């Protein structure tokens, strides 16, 4: 059964538009994932005190038959393929690509590496504003 899911994307290094466009294509070309719509992209200030470039952010709505952890692993593999390096352990730093699984219809989970719905989604304008653009009812579902 195909599940509706929401994924947030962000970039603040390199060609941000190209990075996000490429990531959306990678998601859409993944077996068992179909991108059904995507938001416009918006520029945002970093949410922390680190000195870094602004972020370009957007969201995609997909349909998938992947399990939550399978979808998370696919998102992480796309980040790595784009050049994301998590080895420093720095939280909130600049990145070529950031992909977050925000919501999967009817699924709630909390593990060491995944919490659904994303616990901070409603507090992040760079997630919620583009989400409402393509999926207005998301505020009631998270």
The domain of 88 spans 3-141
- Residues 131, 102 contacting (CB under 8 angstroms): yes
Catalytic residue status for 63: no
Catalytic residue status for 120: no
Catalytic residue status for 84: yes
CA 128 – CA 122 distance, rounded (Å): 6
Q: Which of 74, 86, 98, 125 is an active site residue?
A: 98
Q: Which of 54, 63, 84, 124 is an active site residue?
A: 84
How many domains are there within the chain? 1
The CATH number that applies at residue 108 is 3.30.70.560
**pTM across the whole model:** 0.93
Short-list 119, 110, 1, CA closest to 66: 1
**87 vs 18, which has greater pLDDT?**
18
Taking only the tens place, the pLDDT of each residue in 4-60 is 999 999 999 999 999 999 999 999 999 999 999 999 999 999 877 778 899 999 999
Taking only the tens place, the pLDDT of each residue in 92-139 is 678 899 999 999 999 999 999 999 999 999 899 999 999 999 999 998
Short-list 61, 51, 41, CA closest to 126: 41
Q: Which of 74, 95, 105, 125 is an active site residue?
A: 95
- Residues 12, 92 contacting (CB under 8 angstroms): no
Residue ranges of the alpha helices (H) in 36-92?
A: 68-82
Question: Could you tell me the end-to-end alpha-carbon distance of the chain, in angstroms, rounded to an integer?
Answer: 21
């Amino acid at each position: 059964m195909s599940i509706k899911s929401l994924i947030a994307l962000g970039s603040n290094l390199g060609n941000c538009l190209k990075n996000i466009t490429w990531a959306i294509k990678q998601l859409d070309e993944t077996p068992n994932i179909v991108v059904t719509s995507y938001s416009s992209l918006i520029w945002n200030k970093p949410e922390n005190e680190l000195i870094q470039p602004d972020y370009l952010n957007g969201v995609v709505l997909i349909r998938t038959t992947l399990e939550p952890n399978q979808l998370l692993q696919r998102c992480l593999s796309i980040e790595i393929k784009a050049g994301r390096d998590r080895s420093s352990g720095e939280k909130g730093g600049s990145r070529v690509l950031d992909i977050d699984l925000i919501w999967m219809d009817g699924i709630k989970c909390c593990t060491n590496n995944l919490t659904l719905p994303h616990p901070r989604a409603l507090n992040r304008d760079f997630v919620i504003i583009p989400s409402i653009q393509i999926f207005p009812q998301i505020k009631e579902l998270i």
